Amino acid sequence: MARTALHPWQKVISKEDFVKKTEEGVWGVGFFKPTGEYYEVDYDSPDYKKHLEVKMARKKARFAKTAKMRNSRIVKIKELRAEVRKTKKEAYNRGKEVGFKQGLAAAKPKLTQADRLRKKQEKVAQLQAEISKLKD
């Protein structure tokens, strides 16, 4: 919804004052189209200071929200990397066990142990894909 009146910290000035102040390069003068009035901002007004406080509070909240989101993604990536390391280590140890048992002519068939090893490696690949997706 568009504004139809000046803010309390904007004071009406004449066109001549507006032209004079713009030529001098003074900040805080402008033209309000809906009413056709020229105005000057009173920076010392308590209304303007309150407006600035509200504006800065919104800005800080927005920054805090983005920082929280960024930090949660970083934590998630770290957790996934730790899980990848763990599953890689398990897969490596399982491979060593398989090799050792094969050397001793284990009673268990090789296929099930190889399948478990392949499953662990697929899980590692899946977790790494999730990490790369979260990084983007």
Question: What totals of helices (H) and strands (E) does the chain contain, helices first?
Answer: 3, 3
Please tell me whether the overall predicted TM-score, pTM, comes out greater than 0.85 for this model: no
pLDDT tens per residue across span 91-115: 888 877 776 666 655 555 556 777 8
Strand (E) or helix (H) holding 12: strand 10-13
pLDDT above 80: residue 124? yes
pLDDT at res. 134? 86
Region label for 25, one of left (φ > 0), alpha (ψ between -120 and 50) or beta (otherwise): left
**Upper half-sphere CA count for residue 18 (Cβ side, 13 Å):** 16
